[in-house]
Chains A and B, each alone.
Chain A
């Protein structure tokens, strides 16, 4: 990668991260805590929604967020030709 490609790779990485971390904060601090009371008015599978987010939903969303990150970063690595499917980074 030359300097321009590096800059482009890093920007794409930061953009992806920002989007995912905003969702991360909205689901846990938002749905699970700050807006939990309001969401509790809605029933989801017989359980108040805010409560469900705090005990189940947030964890499931965290898992999906990391899955998206891993998948998108694989694509980004491939686009810039730095994927490491077989070779290993040498360890000291």
Chain B
């Protein structure tokens, strides 16, 4: 066993022990505890949990690689701004009001505010969005285990599933939340420590956000010398339009993702929900302002040291990553010396001629301690961080699926008389079922996994965001309007995404708009249709309008309290002339 394997085992083992201990400490016995941790999580802890929930394998493992390699610097910023800007929308437009509303799930809000048709559409969206998202997380766990512990992907995924099963089924949202706080701590240390070390080594300034400004001129010179495009130049024309749309889709999509929104139900009060958003973005910004620096440092290292190394003395990390197929040669095999100069050339000429080596985005963060020559314990810590990022997101998504099945379908539609105990059992069974499905899909990922995540954002953006915001800010928004709007937004977005898939050969789309950024156009369609249809259909009942009025102000209000305690459920919420309160 190598040093790196040993240290990985130590850190992954320690972190798993911690998660199981927390799971044991936070067992729950009622549905409020299972779905929303009893609504009793303090804001800083809730913020850390949101951050861990939010920062997935994609943020931790892939993002820096996306910026440095596939987006060549500036244009990768769409992800940086898109995945943080959504929190401003969440904090101001959704979090306080949904917390005041005080139920368990997004379909709960949609169903109570609008009607049962809208609830059904929301349940389907929530499950589809969450399932597509969770697949990538399980695959991420597999990558880390495969590379660092040398076990095969299937075993890696099964180990990950077992751990999630233990704390998610036992502790529900309460177990998940406190585990996520621990997972956040692990992943942020794993991300920041190597970044500080590399920054200090390369620039003498330990803070990477400052350090990376020192190497930008050098990086630009290297990029130009080797034929890559400029790292910092802005985009123009269609590229600029697409970046604009992608950034917007990611922002509004973030504010519409069910596993993020549901976290604001767990806050202690309306005020705590606002503070949760602040803490969450603070914790997220620590990683998101560091990611572009990791990207820039790694790019300099790769261009300066890795490029032009002699073929017979490649560093050891090249061999290990070649073994798992994430560093490849021109024909998908091993790196090859095409021009016969005895050196491995990594240049920007890939578009014209085959490059001698291709580096997968996913390895940049995981390999950056080795690329930067840091010691083995740090490499092990980074591996544990990658696993923490993937597991924490997976558990949040699994909770949404379980709550949708047990609360929105079973309790609300099939068996409204179900006892507390019975509901909890159904919730646990559906959680276990979801874990098995996610694990299976993680081991056998569908071939279009990459597009699927973009699809999840597009759907969340085109369906939930406008419906929720109009539901709070426009009392006269009608059920028919919301249902048609959601359905239209979804249909347009899905249609465009399928239409541009390669099989139909319309890859360029309309006006060269990329499918990944189309969600925001679907959102506009949803908004317009909801507003038009609302003009001609039955206005919401007095009770619903009064409920929305009450939701807008913090503190206790009679109607919201009655609704939250379930008293209103027996009454016809959506019919006029209800008993006035």
Are A59 and B285 interface neighbours, CB within 8 A?
yes
Residues on A with C-beta less than 8 A from B564 are 90-92
Taking a contact as CB atoms closer than 8 A, the residue among B38, B40, B214, B275 that contacts A70 in the complex is B275
Residues on A with C-beta less than 8 A from B102 are 89, 91-92
Are B100 and A89 interface neighbours, CB within 8 A?
yes
Are B81 and A24 interface neighbours, CB within 8 A?
no
Q: How many A-B residue pairs have CB under 8 A?
A: 163
Q: How far is the CB of B422 from chain A (nearest CB, A)?
A: 17
| Identity of the chain B residue whose Cβ is nearest the Cβ of A80 in the assembled complex | B553
Interface size class of B (residues with CB under 8 A): 35 or more
Taking a contact as CB atoms closer than 8 A, the residue among A32, A46, A63, A73 that contacts B274 in the complex is A73
Chain B contact residues: helix, strand, loop or mixed = helix
- A69-B80 contact given A46-B214, A62-B85, CB 8 Å threshold: no
Residues on B with C-beta less than 8 A from A84 are 269-271, 554-555
Assess whether B484 is interfacial by the CB under 8 Å rule. Answer: no
| Identity of the chain B residue whose Cβ is nearest the Cβ of A50 in the assembled complex | B234
**B54-62, B185-193, B241-249: which one contacts chain A?**
B241-249
Residues on B with C-beta less than 8 A from A29 are 244, 247-248
Residues on A with C-beta less than 8 A from B347 are none
Are B554 and A51 interface neighbours, CB within 8 A?
no
- A33-B213 contact given A62-B85, A70-B274, CB 8 Å threshold: no
Are B213 and A63 interface neighbours, CB within 8 A?
no
Are B554 and A54 interface neighbours, CB within 8 A?
no
Residues on B with C-beta less than 8 A from A36 are 74, 234-235
Once bound together, how far apart are the Cα atoms of A21 and B73, in whole Å?
Answer: 27
Q: How far is the CB of A5 from chain B (nearest CB, A)?
A: 9
Are B240 and A33 interface neighbours, CB within 8 A?
yes
| Identity of the chain B residue whose Cβ is nearest the Cβ of A18 in the assembled complex | B92
Assess whether B494 is interfacial by the CB under 8 Å rule. Answer: no
Are A46 and B240 interface neighbours, CB within 8 A?
no
A-B pairs with the 10 shortest C-beta distances? A91-B39, A54-B77, A36-B234, A37-B234, A51-B232, A82-B555, A55-B292, A92-B564, A45-B213, A84-B269
New A-B contacts (13) at CB < 8 Å, excluding given A20-B88, A84-B555, A90-B565 = A9-B553, A28-B251, A29-B247, A29-B248, A32-B77, A40-B233, A56-B292, A59-B288, A83-B554, A89-B555, A90-B561, A90-B564, A92-B32
> What are 13 A-B pairs at a CB distance below 8 A?
A28-B81, A29-B247, A51-B74, A55-B77, A56-B209, A60-B285, A66-B87, A67-B278, A77-B271, A88-B269, A89-B100, A89-B555, A90-B564
